[in-house]
Amino acid sequence: MALRLGDTAPDFTQESSEGTINFYDWLGDSWGVLYSHPADFTPVCTTELGMTAKLKDEFEKRNVKVLAISVDTVESHRVWIDDINETQNTRVNFPILADPDRKVSMLYDMIHPNANNALTVRSVFIIDPQKKIRTTLTYPASTGRNFTEILRVIDSLQLTDNYSVATPANWQQGDECVIVPSLKDPAVLKEKFPKGYREVKPYLRMTPQPNK
Q: What is the mean pLDDT of residues 182-192?
A: 92
Confidence band of 94 (pLDDT split at 50, 70, 90): very high
pLDDT tens digits for range 114-172: 555 455 667 899 999 999 999 999 888 788 999 999 999 999 999 999 999 999 999 99
Based on the fold, state whether residues 178 and 90 are members of the same structural domain. Answer: no
Annotated catalytic residue, options 9, 45, 84, 154:
45
**203 Cβ contact partners less than 8 Å away, ≥ 6 residues apart:** 181
- DSSP code string of the chain: ----TTSBPPP-EEEETTEEEEHHHHHTTSEEEEEEESSTT-HHHHHHHHHHHHTHHHHHHTTEEEEEEESS-HHHHHHHHHHHHHHHTS---S-EEE-TT-HHHHHTT---TTT-SSS--EEEEEE-TTSBEEEEEEE-TTS---HHHHHHHHHHHHHHHHHSEE--TT--TTS-EEEPTT---HHHHHHH-TT--EEEETTEEEE--TT-
Percent of the chain with pLDDT over 70: 95
In a domain, 150, yes or no: no
Chain-wide mean pLDDT for the chain?
92
State residue 38's pLDDT score.
83
Confidence band of 181 (pLDDT split at 50, 70, 90): very high
State residue 1's pLDDT score.
58
80 with 47: CB under 8 angstroms?
no
State residue 142's pLDDT score.
82
Domain count for the chain, please give it.
2
Based on the fold, state whether residues 96 and 186 are members of the same structural domain. Answer: no
Nearest to 78 by CA among 118, 18, 13: 18
pLDDT tens digits for range 97-114: 999 988 998 899 887 555
Residue 41 CA: distances (Å) to CA of 77, 102, 120, 129, 153: 9, 18, 14, 32, 28
Residue 45 annotated to the active site: yes
Nearest to 108 by CA among 21, 17, 11: 11
Domain span holding position 202 = 164-207
State residue 66's pLDDT score.
98
In a domain, 39, yes or no: yes
CATH of the domain at 55: 3.40.30.10
Based on the fold, state whether residues 183 and 86 are members of the same structural domain. Answer: no
To the question of pTM greater than 0.85 for the whole model, the response is yes
State residue 92's pLDDT score.
97
**102 Cβ contact partners less than 8 Å away, ≥ 6 residues apart:** 71, 111
State residue 141's pLDDT score.
79
Query: How many CB atoms sit inside 10 A of residue 44's CB?
Result: 16
State residue 4's pLDDT score.
92
Q: What is the mean pLDDT of residues 49-68?
A: 98
Based on the fold, state whether residues 123 and 169 are members of the same structural domain. Answer: no
Based on the fold, state whether residues 69 and 172 are members of the same structural domain. Answer: no
